[in-house]
Amino acid sequence: MKKTTRATRAKGAQSSPEALLDALHSLMIERRGLDVAIADISERSGLNTGLVRYYFKSKNGMLVALLDRIVNLPIRNLRALIDAPITPWEKLKRHLSGLINTHYRYPYMNELVAYLINGTDEEIAKHVYTSSVEPLLIAQRAIIQQGVESGEFRDVDPTFSYFTLTGACDYMFTASYVHRLGLHASEVSDEMRQRYTEHVLNFVRAGLQADVAG
């Protein structure tokens, strides 16, 4: 752990809030969950605990800041994708690949979102829903609707499809314990992520294909 601390300190260009968020991220990966204390973040980053309160007010404030940092770019890309001059299937392909990438890099995503939204702080719940979940629901439904209207997809329910597609993309990473305990793999490798993306895209393509309706 000492080594990481020094390494983080050595990055002179990095600001303190970024270093704290990096420490939180790496600890949640290692511990396979959200159970990380402010003292651990302090030790890992080499910064004092007071800075967490100074920058983020609380542990939950820090979790929200980390989630915002993760989803910022993907959500912007997704919003742009809705009206991009490509076919609905091409949009869905890019979106689902991106979604799998995000869950590969941040396997604690689903747990983090559920924890913040189901918690007792209604303001945090609304913020997280609006910034991290709603844009996904809106964009996916819009793209599926476009495909249904153009006749490229079967006449599927776009809201139900949001649940099936999102669940199919992220369960591999949310249930990462299956790899550790059942498949004798210490983690999901990048090669596995690529093959899984291909599998999901083939599966979804076949599942949505207009000419196999009924």
* Residues forming the site for a second copy (CB under 8 A): 31-33, 110-111, 113-115, 117-118, 125-126, 129, 133-134, 137, 154, 156-157, 159-161, 163-172, 174-175, 177-178, 181-183, 195-196, 199-200, 202-204, 206-209, 212-213
Nearer to a second copy, 18 or 90 (CB): 90
Nearer to a second copy, 10 or 120 (CB): 120
Shortest Å, Cβ 6 to a second copy? 27
Nearer to a second copy, 19 or 200 (CB): 200
Nearer to a second copy, 34 or 51 (CB): 34
Shortest Å, Cβ 129 to a second copy? 4
DSSP-assigned letters across all residues of the chain: -HHHHHHHHH-TTS-HHHHHHHHHHHHHHHTTSS---HHHHHHHHT--THHHHHHHSSHHHHHHHHHHHHHHHHHHHHHHHHT-SS-HHHHHHHHHHHHHHHHHH-TTHHHHHHHHHHSS-HHHHHHHIIIIIHHHHHHHHHHHHHHHHTTSB-S--HHHHHHHHHHHHHHHHHTTHHHHHTS--SS--HHHHHHHHHHHHHHHHHHHBGGG--
Shortest Å, Cβ 5 to a second copy? 23
Shortest Å, Cβ 12 to a second copy? 35
Nearer to a second copy, 2 or 184 (CB): 184
Shortest Å, Cβ 158 to a second copy? 11
